[in-house]
Amino acid sequence: MLFRPGVFVAATMLCLPASAEETVRISGWGGSEVAIVNGLLTNVVAEKLAKEGIRVKYEPVDGDYSQIIINGLSAGTAPDLFYVDTFWARSVFSAGQAAPVTSDVSGFAANLLTAFTYDGKLYSTPKDFNTLAIHFNKDIFDDAGVDYPSNDDTWTTLQEKLVAVHKSLPEVDGLCVVPEYARFGAFALSTGWSPFDTRGKTILDERFRRAFGFYTGLVKSGAAVMAADAGHSWTGGCLASERAAVAIEGAWILSALRDSAPNMNLGTVRMPKDPESGKRGNIVFSVGWSVNAASKVSKAAAKVAELLTTEEAQQWVLEQGLALPSRTSLTDNPWLRGGEPEQIASRVVLEGLSDDHVTPYFFGDVGGSWMQPINAALNSVILGEEDANKALQSAQSAFDRMLAR
């Protein structure tokens, strides 16, 4: 979606009596997030903001959000309140650019709070989150005469179903795989493997190798195709175009399907278990609201963050089917117990938060570079350019060099 600053700014100005008001500049992503924040500002918190004498100026950003925020923070032009992704939160928190959260956070999911904690202090109020789940097209499984994926699936049983779909419907692949830790990581974690050991090192042990062998073997077994070979950049693209029966994504897939495949007979189940450990792994992707430490209206900004993440606000977002709440009390929300595909998908993604081995999408001081050796190894093995042993040896050497610095 293109960024139209004039429209956004005009549409998001909330006017209040000029005398006592403070203006708080807030910023978030573009795309579907614009509807969420605009909806919250106008439908849920407008009156409360007026009562507090706060005027909000909303500045959504399309493009590389983290780069724009970090540039703005260093230049002193950043908004008073902005999104922080767990992925790059450390670079903002460690630089002292975010003000600690002082409001009551007892109602938020504990592992989300951990993800936003640095040096013993919480610097961001969790806005929402996502985990990975198996989304599938029921019609394809019906046409192929294959059982739907289920919550009881292991890697093996899921793979068997995917192979069976492809055998029955050769023009459809079971799954589109991407050579990225962001998807493969859930399988590696389910074995009990951890990205960093107690000494802070990354060791690609036997558990990792087992998950690696399974994931890279999906293409060879006929269960999957490389997403790029199917003309897509993500697994959701393959599902939406009915090129694949299954996608491994978070609840963000719902808005994409709403646009590109609104009539899809969608089903969603939890990530499969490792057949050996019997456990599930998952990755949490989360975003929070952080107050700019240099803001001249930091109290008002903190109040806006508080209002945008209240139970009432999160319930509104949830019931619009826009994002998953970070407050534990909303787990029992009646909307989540509904039988509509979007409600089921949201419930499953919410349940992913309590899988056996869950880690945030965050790699300490190393940042996204940490994923490079794994992504390169996945890529070369899936393409058949290297065997697994050689690829993993190279990856281990790369980790040893990277973490020795």
Partner 1 sequence: MSRTRSEERSGWLFVLPFTISMMLFFVFAIVRTAYYSFTDFDLFEAPSFVGMSNYTALVSDELFLLALRNTIGFSLIVTTTQTVLALALAVLVNHAVRARGLVRTVFYLPSIMSSAAMTLIFLWLFQRNGFMTAIVSVMLAYRQHILLFLVGMAALHGALVLNARRSYEGVSIFDPFFLLVAAVGALALAVSCALAGLLSVFDNNLPISWLNTQRHFLFMPVTLWSVALMNVFTTVPTLMLLFLAGLQSIPSSLYDAAEVDGANAFQRFRHITVPALRPVTFAVVTMGVIGTLQMFDQVAILGDAAPLASRVTLAYYVYENAFPEGASSRIGMASAAALVLGILTITAVYVQKSLGVKEKGE
Chain residues binding partner 1 by CB under 8 A are 64, 66-67, 70, 73-74, 87-88, 90-91, 94-97, 180, 226, 228-229, 231, 233, 362-363, 365-369, 372, 375-376, 379-380, 383, 385-386, 401
Task: Check if the beta carbon of residue 317 is closer than 8 Å to that of residue 333.
Answer: no
- Displacement of CA 325 from its chain's centroid (Å): 13
Task: Check if the beta carbon of residue 131 is closer than 8 Å to that of residue 358.
Answer: yes
Which of 146, 112, 156, 155 is CA-nearest to residue 131? Answer: 112
CB of 165 to partner 1, least distance (A): 20
| Residue 126 structure tokens | 């969790």
Cβ closest to partner 1, residue 12 vs residue 292: 292
Cβ closest to partner 1, residue 221 vs residue 331: 221
Which of 379, 339, 405, 27 is CA-nearest to residue 181? Answer: 379
CB of 377 to partner 1, least distance (A): 10
Cβ closest to partner 1, residue 86 vs residue 346: 86
What amino acid is encoded at 279 in this protein? Answer: K
CB of 66 to partner 1, least distance (A): 8
Cβ closest to partner 1, residue 225 vs residue 317: 225
CB of 222 to partner 1, least distance (A): 16
Which of 131, 114, 36, 129 is CA-nearest to residue 327? Answer: 129
CB of 46 to partner 1, least distance (A): 35
CB of 402 to partner 1, least distance (A): 10
Cβ closest to partner 1, residue 53 vs residue 100: 100
Q: How far apart are CA 139 and CA 267, in angstroms?
A: 10
Could you tell me if residue 159 is left (phi over 0), alpha (psi between -120 and 50 degrees) or otherwise beta?
alpha
Q: Say how many residues make up the chain.
A: 405
CB of 371 to partner 1, least distance (A): 9
Dihedral sign for Cα atoms in the order 122, 123, 127, 130 = negative
Cβ closest to partner 1, residue 17 vs residue 170: 170
How distant, in Å, are the alpha carbons of 45, 115, 288 from that of 304? 9, 21, 13
Cβ closest to partner 1, residue 11 vs residue 95: 95
